[in-house]
Structure 1
C-alpha cells in the first residue's frame, strides 16, 4: 500500500477514501455532503471547515487529525485551545450567568466527553469542554438538593476529560488545577467509587513532578480508604488503584512493591469483566497492558517481561484507543532497549494507527523515533516521515 500523501488536505482525503474502497459518491453520501463539494475539496479547488473535516473523518472511520495533518496539526489546535480550558475553571465558584440544560442532557454531554477521552480525541474535548464546564459550574451552583450529587459527579468527570488534554500536552499546572477541582467535586457527589477513581487520576501530578515515592504513598493511602471490594464496581475501583500503584512503584524503582500491586491487580482483574468503571478501563486486558507498563517503568533490566507479554498477546480492539496505543508505545520502548529497532518502529506505527493524537505528542514517541532515526538507515524514508510527523529531533 502506498504511504499516505504529505501535501494537501484534498489529497489526504482521496488517499483515505481509496484505502476505504469508497467512491466519491459513497463518501459524500456517508458524510452527508454534496458530491460536487467533495470533488472540489479533493482537487484542492476549495477550502474545508472543521465540520466537514469531522464528517468526512467519521465516514472514513479515522481520526480528523489524519486528514488535517500538515494543514493544521491537531496538536497545534489543541495547544491553542488550552487557555480556554484554563479560563473556564478560573471562576468555578462564581460562574457567569447563562443557560443550563436539564440533567439528562448534561449527563449525555459529559458522557460524550468521557468517550472522547478514552478514544484519545483531544480536538473534540478542547472544542466542547470550556463551554460545558462553565455550564456545569452554573448547574452545580443552582442545583436543587435532589440533583446536586449527580451534577457534582458530572463536574468531576468533565474535569477529568479536560485534564486528559492538559496533562498529555504538558500543561501540568492546569492539569493539577483540574485534578484539584475533581477532588473538590467528589465529596459533593458522595460516591466512594468516584473518590477512588480520582485518586487514580491524581497520580498524574506525581508523574509530572517525578515524585514517585510520594505518589505511591498517596495511592496506598487511597487503597486503605477504599470501600471493601464486594461488588463489581468496588472490585474494579480497588483493582485500578493497584494497577496504577504498580506503575508508580516501578518508576520509584521499588520492584517488590511493583510486583505486589501488580499481583493484586491481576487477582482482582480476574474477578470482573473488562469494562469502563467510573471512567477507568479495568479488567484482565487492562492489567496485562499494565504488566508491560510496569516492566518498562522498572527499566531495561526488566523489559524481557514486556516482550514476553507481547509474544503471546495483543490488546483486543474493543479496549479504549488510548489504552491500546499506550501498550504499543511502551512496547516500542522495551523493543528498542532490547536491540529490536525494526519491531520498535512497527509498534510505534501501530500506536499511531490506533490513536494518532495520543501518539504524536507522547514524549516517549518523540524520543524513540529520534533514536531509531539515528540507529538505522533501512526504511529511512518512512522513519524520516514518522519522525517529522511527531516532531522528533
Structure 2
C-alpha cells in the first residue's frame, strides 16, 4: 500500500510543485537551477522533508519568487526580515564613514539596483532585507568618488524604506527618506527629487498629518510645473503620480475640493501616459483606476459607490506590480466592508494575499478588517479563522 503524503495541505512542497508547474519546469530542471539534488526536490514535493533556509532560498531564487511564497505560515519569514534590520541600521549609521572595500563597475551596480526596485514592486521583502545592507554600503562607498552612483543609492534607500515602513520601523523609514533627500541633491535631476517627495508622504501618512503632506506635495507639483516645456513620458509620469497621491492625501485631510482637483489632473495625465514605472513609481491608466478606489475610500462612507463599481467590473492586470495590485484589493476590501458586503470584503482580502502575501500580512488595514469580520460573524468560517491565524491575530 503506498505511503500517505506527509505534506500538509498548502505546505512548502505543494507550493514548490505548483509554482514549478506554472513555470513549466520539471523536477530535474528545478534541481539544476537551484543547485540542489533531484532527490531533495522529490522529497520536498512528497512532503517527507522540510526545506532549510538555504535550500528554501535557492529554490525560491530558481523559481523567481520570494521565499515567503513557499511557506505555509509567515513567522519564519517575519523573523528573517526582522533579523536583517540591525544590518540595515548599521549600513545607515556608517554611511558617512563607510568601510573600505571594492566597488563593482557601474553596469553591474545598475543591474543590482534594478533588481532591488523590481523586488520592492513585487513586495519581496525577504530578498530585499538580505541584499540591501551590502548594496547600500557599496554604493555609499562608491559615491565618495563619483556622483554617478547617487541615483542608484536613492533607489536602494527607497527599497530599504519599503521594508522598514511595511514592518513598522518608522524611525528607520524616516531616516532613510532623509538620506534619499540628501543624496538626490547630489544629482541635478528634478524628477528624482520629485520621486523622493512622493515617498516622503509616508511620513505624513504615519503621523496622520495630512494637511502638511498635501502642502509638501503641492510644493513639489508647483516646482515641476515650471518645466512645462518638458513633454517626456518620464516627466508626465512623475507629475501624474504626485497628483495621484495628492488626491488621496487631500481626501484624508478632508479637503474635498482639492482632492477632486488632483484626481482630475491625475486622470488626465493617466490618459496620456502608458502604464509603466516612472522613477520607481507605477503610473498610467490602470494605476489611476486603482487610486480612484483609494480616493473613494479616503473620502469615506458617502463616496464608496465608485470604488464598489470598479471592484465589481475590473481587476488590475497581472502585468502590474504585485504591491499595487494587492493594495487595490486591500482598499476594495475596506470599501466593501463599510458597505456591508462582508463576504465580498473577505474575497478581496484573499485576493490580496494570493498576489503579495508579505504586503498583505503587514498591512494595518488587513488586520483591522479581519478583526472586524471576526466580530461580525458569530460563527466564523474555518477559512476566516485560518486567515486570522495567518495574520497572527489568534
Matched, 1:89 2:92: yes
Q: Relative to 1, partners in 2 of residues 1:63 and 1:244: Cα closer, same or farther, differing over 3 Å?
A: same
Q: Equivalences for 1:57-68 in 2 at 5 Å?
A: 57-58=60-61, 62-68=65-71
Structure 1: which 5+ residue stretches go unaligned?
none
CA deviation after TM superposition for structure 1 residue 173, in Å = 0.6
Could you tell me how far apart the structure 1 residues matched to 2:31 and 2:223 are? 54
Matched, 1:358 2:356: no
State which of 135, 138, 141 in structure 1 corresponds to 2:141: 138
**Higher alpha-carbon deviation: 192-201 or 18-27:** 18-27
Contact 1:8/1:71 (8 A) holds in 2: no
CA deviation after TM superposition for structure 1 residue 257, in Å = 1.1
Matched, 1:70 2:70: no
State which of 115, 120, 124 in structure 1 corresponds to 2:118: 115
Q: Relative to 1, partners in 2 of residues 1:8 and 1:310: Cα closer, same or farther, differing over 3 Å?
A: closer
Q: 2:234 maps to what in 1?
A: 233
Instruction: State how many pairs are aligned.
Output: 385
Structure 2: which 5+ residue stretches go unaligned?
1-6
CA deviation after TM superposition for structure 1 residue 390, in Å = 1.2
CA deviation after TM superposition for structure 1 residue 272, in Å = 1.0
Q: Equivalences for 1:183-222 in 2 at 5 Å?
A: 183-222=181-220
Could you tell me how far apart the structure 2 residues matched to 1:157 and 1:21 are? 33
CA deviation after TM superposition for structure 1 residue 240, in Å = 0.7
Q: Equivalences for 1:325-340 in 2 at 5 Å?
A: 325-340=326-341
Q: 1:345 maps to what in 2?
A: 346
Q: Relative to 1, partners in 2 of residues 1:44 and 1:271: Cα closer, same or farther, differing over 3 Å?
A: closer
Contact 2:352/2:360 (8 A) holds in 1: yes
CA deviation after TM superposition for structure 1 residue 78, in Å = 1.0
Could you tell me how far apart the structure 1 residues matched to 2:185 and 2:20 are? 49
Could you tell me how far apart the structure 2 residues matched to 1:153 and 1:71 are? 33
CA deviation after TM superposition for structure 1 residue 79, in Å = 1.7
Q: Equivalences for 1:302-341 in 2 at 5 Å?
A: 302-341=303-342
3-state SS of the aligned residue for 2:319? coil
Could you tell me how far apart the structure 2 residues matched to 1:293 and 1:8 are? 34
How well do the aligned residues superpose, as a CA RMSD in angstroms? 2.3
**TM-superposition CA deviations, 1:136-188 (whole Å, max 9, x none):** 11000122xxxx1x211111111001000111111111000000001001111
Q: Equivalences for 1:143-182 in 2 at 5 Å?
A: 143=146, 148=147, 150-182=148-180
3-state SS of the aligned residue for 2:315? coil
CA deviation after TM superposition for structure 1 residue 26, in Å = 5.8
Contact 2:68/2:74 (8 A) holds in 1: no
Could you tell me how far apart the structure 1 residues matched to 2:17 and 2:274 are? 40
CA deviation after TM superposition for structure 1 residue 311, in Å = 2.4
Could you tell me how far apart the structure 1 residues matched to 2:321 and 2:222 are? 28
Contact 1:17/1:60 (8 A) holds in 2: yes
State which of 7, 12, 37 in structure 2 corresponds to 1:34: 37
Q: 2:103 maps to what in 1?
A: 100
3-state SS of the aligned residue for 1:127? helix
Could you tell me how far apart the structure 2 residues matched to 1:278 and 1:306 are? 27
**Higher alpha-carbon deviation: 376-385 or 340-349:** 376-385
Could you tell me how far apart the structure 1 residues matched to 2:271 and 2:246 are? 18
Could you tell me how far apart the structure 2 residues matched to 1:93 and 1:211 are? 30
Could you tell me how far apart the structure 2 residues matched to 1:258 and 1:333 are? 20
